[in-house]
Structure 1
Amino acid sequence: MIGLGAVAYFTYHTVEGNRGVLAYFRLQAEILDAEMHLSKVASERAEMEHRVQLLRPDHLDPDMLEERARIMLNMGREGEVVVFDKRR
């Protein structure tokens, strides 16, 4: 009876404990979520770095400069229609 109780105790904690099977699956799900978030943030960072690269003095893109100037000055040419992209 004591042996059966010990087996039941260890079996329960193998499944339900802090380092049990269910905790393992929960941690794997958290790791997957974190990796997906990392991938999203890394792609956003790469896009931002590319946009910054276009504004560097040694490689200045005239279109990017004009876009930033229009945003900062809140101005446009006469007869233009401005459509803002809220993702940026």
Structure 2
Amino acid sequence: MIRFMKKIAHISKNISQAWATGLWFFLIAYFAIHAFQGESSLSALKELEQQEFALKQQAQDIAAVRSALEMRTEKMGGQTVDPDLLEEQVRARLGFAHQDEVILFLE
């Protein structure tokens, strides 16, 4: 009878160890699958990094345009006006031209 009880205890111990091992395998498989699929996967992280790079480039381009516009606005305002800029604006808005200039109208 004691041998039978020892065998049952041994089988019970093996079953509990098998459950623990199975649980660990399940957890490892679960996290491995989610590491490569889904919204928070490694491929999604790579896409986000590419998008970040593109947005940084776009931000740099916009900053360059903004600084150019700020410089142009600074020339137009303030105490003095840049004569070249004033002449450019007058010609563009009023259609004035010098006598020796040739104007081509494009449709």
Structure-1-length-normalised TM-score: 0.80
Residue 73 (structure 1) aligned with residue 94 (structure 2):
yes
Superposition RMSD on alpha carbons, in Å? 1.9
Residue 52 of structure 1 is matched in structure 2 by 73
Give the deviation of 1:8 after TM superposition: 2.6
- The AA in structure 2 aligned to 1:62 is P
Rounded Cα–Cα distance in structure 2 between residues aligned with 1:43 and 1:82? 32
- Regions of 4+ moved over 3 Å: 1-6
Q: 1:82 to 1:54 in 2, by over 3 A?
A: farther
User: What's the TM-score, normalizing by structure 2?
Assistant: 0.67
1:39 to 60, 64, 69: 60
Distance 2:40 2:64 in 1: 34
Q: Which has the higher contact order (CA 8 A, sep 6+)?
A: 1
Q: Which runs of 5+ in 2 are unaligned?
A: 1-21
Q: Which has the larger radius of gyration?
A: 2
Give the % identical residues: 25
